[in-house]
């Protein structure tokens, strides 16, 4: 697992319009460019917020990434708290 590469991909989508466009056109292809594990790639492609948070993606990268995907703040908070009892 390379949290650095996961965060690099997320930062690229967050900050670069061309990367964001490429990501939305072909998520799986874009993810493959970063050499992620199957678990990492699936978490990003499926927008598994809880899994990304548990992997250690920094919230200052993760929240903008979820905003780009139209995730509301309450849904984001519920997702990162998933499994907390």
pLDDT tens, 46-78? 999 999 999 999 999 999 999 999 999 999 999
Report pTM: 0.90
3-81 folds as Protocatechuate 4,5-dioxygenase; Chain A (1.10.700)
User: Distance (Å, rounded) from C-alpha 62 to C-alpha 39?
Assistant: 17
Work out the number of other CB atoms within 10 angstroms of the CB of residue 41. Answer: 19
**Which of 44, 40, 39, 38 has its CA nearest to residue 65?**
44
User: Distance (Å, rounded) from C-alpha 64 to C-alpha 76?
Assistant: 11
Task: Please give the share of the chain, as a percent, with pLDDT higher than 90.
Answer: 93
């Amino acid at each position: 697992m390379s949290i650095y590469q996961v965060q690099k991909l997320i930062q690229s989508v967050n900050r670069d319009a061309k990367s964001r466009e490429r990501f939305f056109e072909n998520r799986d292809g874009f993810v493959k460019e970063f050499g992620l594990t199957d678990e990492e790639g699936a978490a990003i492609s499926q927008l598994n917020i809880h899994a990304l948070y548990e992997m250690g993606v920094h919230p200052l990268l993760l929240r903008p990434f979820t905003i780009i995907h139209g995730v509301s703040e309450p849904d984001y908070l519920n997702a990162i708290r998933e499994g907390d009892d």
